[in-house]
Structure 1
Amino acid sequence: MGGFSAGAERHVFSFAGVATAVLDDRGTVVRWSSAAAELLGRTAEEVCGRPLRELLARDCPDTEDDGFPADGTALLRHSCGDAVAVSFRVLSTEPAAESLVLLAPTRRVSHWEADANVLRALLSQDRLGIGMHDTDLTVMWTNITADMFGGSALPRGSRLTDVPALKDAKDAETELRQVLETGEPLVGKTLHMRAPDDPDRYLVLSLCAFRVEDAEGTPIGVVTMFADTPEQQRVRRRLDVLHAAADRIGASLDVRRTVRDLMDVLVPALGDVGWADLAEAVLNTDEPAKPAAGGGDLHLCRVTVTPDEGTAALFRPGEAIPRLPYSPELGDIQRGRPVVLDPDTVADVLGDPSLVHRFVPEDGRSGLWAPLFARGLVLGSVTVWRTGEREPFEPEDAELLGEIASRAALSVDNARRYTRERRTALTLQRRLLPPATTEGPAAETAGIYLPAGGGADISGDWYDVIPLPSFRVALVAGDVVGHGLDASAAMSGLRTAVRTLADLELDPSELLTHLDDLVRRLGQDTEWGKPAGATCLYAVYDPIARRCVIAGAGHPPPVEVRPDGTTRMLRFSPGPPLGVGGMPFETVTADVEPGSVLALYTDGLLDRYGGDLDAGLRWLTHRLATSCRPGQSLVEASRLLQADLGQTPPRDDIALLLARARAIPEDAMASWEFGADDSVVADARQAVRHQLVEWGLDDLVFTTELIVSELVTNAVRYAGAPVGLRLVRDDVLVCEVTDPSNTQPRLRRAGWSDEGGRGLFLVAQLSTRWGSRYGRNGKTIWSEQRLVPQEVDFEALM
């Protein structure tokens, strides 16, 4: 298998390079090969019949009289007169009267011997495997045995892909074929061979290969050399652990999950048993206090132990780590330095041999203790032990663990900060939302809010239920663009603004117009000058008219589930999201059957089909139809919907508001219409008196007559006909007077000598609350009174 060269010629070791001669018993040449003729420049006719001794150079030492010795070197005369150094060997033949002489240039023989010595030295190495493969990559010859690398043998007639333990066999054969095709040698390719004693551990081999050719330069195979380098394996294991740490640690924003990922990287790659402890403050998302110099209490709590089997004697997850006596090792940990441990060192540090079994695993031989150190604070610690006969840790292992622990500490600190901000934002978000369930004359409501998971920040999703005068209710759902505390704060501002504007009893489209202007002005005040942006749906349900007026700003439409189980989308022409401006908002009016359920939601509820909102709407409509059945509480319906969402946290926040519409009975309402004449005031008082007596509200007759008298009088004097009067009874008594004027009523306190100006002041004092709202053709002034009247000091009103 060794390659040889002579001058410009290319030969492998073969008999073509050997000259031969046959001598008789007197040493006379009887046969002379063409190779011998080429070697000395003498033909067979010139040499045969002459003693071989005559071809010796004159300065050649004397030989024995009976011919050449059995082997050695000599100088022969070339036909040109030059001396040719040859190595020879004399072989006896049958019959014994003749002998065969083998001749070759001494220089070439020296090359052969050197090549043979090199090959012999290579083959004698127990950590260097050599194989000869033919053009099909089948092994023709090899010295690789099963004991060489502690793995599998490479027998003759096999291929690399026939070795099950060789992980990279296919890739290696692909590169060997390239060596065959191109002639370019392969140097230092890394192969992994599974260790026989541990299927999860691999030996690292280095592969070199070169092409072998025949005398004509035709490829006849490939020679492979496998080397096992322990130092390279140690470097490779270190890099593998570092790569695994970079890949796995920090993928989660949960502190407990982060340290579990850390231990999965370290065990069994670095040690056999390990655990991680975190400061109690970190587990509570707070920042740990900086330890005092020489302090021995790190306030740690065990988080995880790996593996769980056979470690019952150690501190278990959830247990607090007791105060430790001060020691140099503890001081190193407090300063952020890893330390190497052994059982005796642990016993000395503890000062109590009875506690060693809680800090050292069974059969523990060598340990590493490293702090989770970030920003000058000890967030926790990680400990790894090797057991049994495994080699003890070295200082470079401590450096490796210290580097990994430093990276993990930053991930733990980031997760702690994220969790704290998320918890703060979520608490703020939940406290800003209304109660989950409400009961009112207009509707029964139930709402759910689900924060996003998977590392997503809290968004500005919200819903609201706003009681309005005359038993109406406003239903709101919105979603602020952005995440985190800024989004929650913006949501709080918008919710407050919606409630303030709702008190003005504006039309939904007009309310959104004011809200859009507010968002644009707020956006101009931000640091970057960009509008915050939000979507919003605002609906007002009137239980008297049994009608819902809806307007939206870039928000998905509500879904109605009727009592018979049918569903419909209350579609409308949506305006642009809040903060865009320049486009009007339109309203849609829908008749709502009592008992129907209106569902208002944010787009996170539809994000189930990779952004396909139509598919999300179909799913939502179907689930609402099956969940919101008559007689079933909305709380239970919302739980069913939440269960359908699964255990996986949503990718975006979800806010859902369910409202079951109610209606004011016909017999709880009474209405009249009057002309613009002062005489109608008495008629209005009489109509109110009779109706209240009929309802059994005799105690409210006097105060209600006063309220109606003042409101109708003002309408007749300042607004004109027609004047409408309506009484509605439920949990309160509502009195409404409608006139065609859009003049804003003003409340003032009249002087003691004034003859008028006390009307609205009187109404305000006799009512629990009062106000006015405007329609397309005038305004309505309303007042509310408790069904059980409160005492009124009429002297104080004068």
Structure 2
Amino acid sequence: MADAPLMVVNGAGAVTGWSRAAERRFGLATADALGLLLTDVLAGDTARADGGGTDDGGPAGGGPDDGASGEGADARTGLRLEPLGGAGWAVREADGEDAGDPIDEALLDVLFTQERVRIHVLDPDLRLLRISDPSMDPDTDETARLRGRPFREVCAFDEPERVESRIQEVLRTGVPCVECLYRALPGDVAGGRRTLSLSAFRLQEGHRTRPGDHGAVLGVVVTVVDVTERVRHQVRDMALAAVRDRVGRTMDIEATCRDVVEAVVPEYADVGVVEIVDAVLRGESPQPGPLGRDVPLRRAAHGGGDDPAHPVGDVRAVPPGTPFQRALSDLRPRVVPVEDAPWAEADPARAHAIRESGAHTLLLAPLTLRGAVLGLVSLYRCGDSEPFTEADIPVALAMASRTALGIDNASRYVHEYTVASALQRRLLPQTPAPQPAVETDHLLIPGGGGGNWFDTIALPGARTALVVGEVGAEGIQAATTMGQLRTVVQALAALDLEADELLARLYDTAARLAKERSQLPESDPLHREPLMASCAYVVYDPFTGTCTAASAGHPAPLLVAPDGTVSTVGVIQGPPLGSAERGPVAAVSFPVEEGSLLALHSGALRNHAEFPAGPLHQALAHPDRPLRELCDAVAYALPDSPELRGSTLLLARTHAMPEDRYAAWELPYDRTAPSTARRLTSRTLARWHVDDDTGDATELIVSELVTNAVRYGSPPVELRLILDRGLTCEIRDGSTTAPYMKYAGAVDEGGRGLFIMSQLASLWGTRYAPDGKTVWSEQVIPRDEG
């Protein structure tokens, strides 16, 4: 920096280059100095030094050629001229005063090359003199490209006049502007408009070296920081705090809804709508579980503009196939983009009103309390407001929870659930059970008689059973029968039966239930209503990558390959449960690629599942999407048909078993097998950080099972350890002889192995195959292990 000239002049004495040091020395901005004659620049400098205008003894002449034919210094000005290679001169400080402090130079370099805070140096006319550039690339020098441009063109603020007025106030008064927030155009940044924090400080000659001497104003330094995310968090926190502060202070339901809208509009949302189940407004108890499509909602509050389609007080049922109906059926908040909405045709009046308002995103949150639906909160953002994102969903959840509590207190429920709906919801799994190699989600279309069910059951050996069934009846009796069959399937699955054997025993259960119905009095409605049901049972084994399926009068599942190819599994469909016809049940095994999708559905979806170009196939043609999105896509794609109400869809995406969660070996078929098994087990459990007590018990179990396999079984003998929900030990051998537990006497030398194992393990059993059997045990692992 010390070698850089103050300025550069051409042969005619006109300034062609101007440095920051020259700006400080002569008080002229680059844009003003370029083109001036050197004599005029020096004359102005002398006038400032003398306290008045130029005198007769000052420098004169048109340029360097008039009085400086070679390199030299002028004692009056403290400057010296050096000829350049071309037709021009470099003007430098004669005594080296242009060289700055190394620390100051280093500090400036750090400030002007960091990325977080954008620094702008402006002249008194708010034109750019210098800007921070983290790239330090001379080919893309920001200062060279933007020098001389107005500040409003450098930073695209939403209201440039306000910004310039604030900076000019800083120039005029000297009072800094610290962290003033302004909106900026989004530019190339996704997610809506940005929020910038601006700070401005006046630059004044002699301000630092002579505190009492206030010299000429040289310009202003403006720093700009993008604080968009911080402001977004603040807006969310303030909106949630406003809802918590205002909602719940009254015992009037409609007043509570108005408080919600007033708390979030317009600071958080441009439009807010609260709709309440009409029966709740009349003081009745809300229906538990997802809201049926025929249940009317009343618009209790609206804020942020008019909605001529649905004014306050309007009562209407939510049309199916819309995000509003989906939020009320699966009880999950969601962010919904308005552009190219596939549900617009299902509710054209509301879709038109949303477009007219200029809304671009919706935030929907169902109002639920203890499993009951009270209504729905819909928040819209319009125009140039930032769109809602997934980060707003926790806020919506908290707002909805607070609102639902206020409505509950105001309505003073007499009872919580009706018998039929409570029975239906409680007999179904509330959330998908986590499985080691399968992720599942489900779609339950509202309506129907409550006789459909689904289940995900964990089986030994990290296998998973997928179940879908339905009862051919409606009402409380259908839900009761469904609960009985579902309980029986779970109990039979715990016995680790093959798919065909499990359904064979389920036939027996259905026959006993049908017989009990026939013994009821003739006046009982169940006496005249035959028991008719169906069930599909599929077992996925992540180690072999195969599924085994069997069906009792139920449609075959769909298999969606990772590339999106949809096919129907070739399952032999047996007679329905409860029918007089009875025949053998056949199970079918088929390979499944990792990442494939299994779709088990109720009978009402049979026609859509068998039609390759239908909406169900099209919705499932992208198996890599999240399962919740796939369920929503199916719900949007299916037509609004009475026969589809109450239908069930269970989706399962298959995965391979993680290699670090299991170990398998083939053991020698001799006396050394137990010791070898203990050694391998000890080494593996140490790697899995299983404690000594559990490890000792596992080694004893393995030793006893391997001893039995070698003594009473046949080769090959295989050992497999699985660390999943618990610790599973599996011993497989080639014999189909079933082990059984003995109760040895005090003097007996043997017969205690399986008894000891049953005391150490939480569960144990035997699984048979055509080529042998597998004896397994499961142990519970403490939470801090594994």
TM-score (norm. length: structure 1)? 0.43
Structure number with the bigger relative contact order (C-alpha 8 A, sep ≥ 6) is: 2
TM-score (norm. length: structure 2)? 0.44
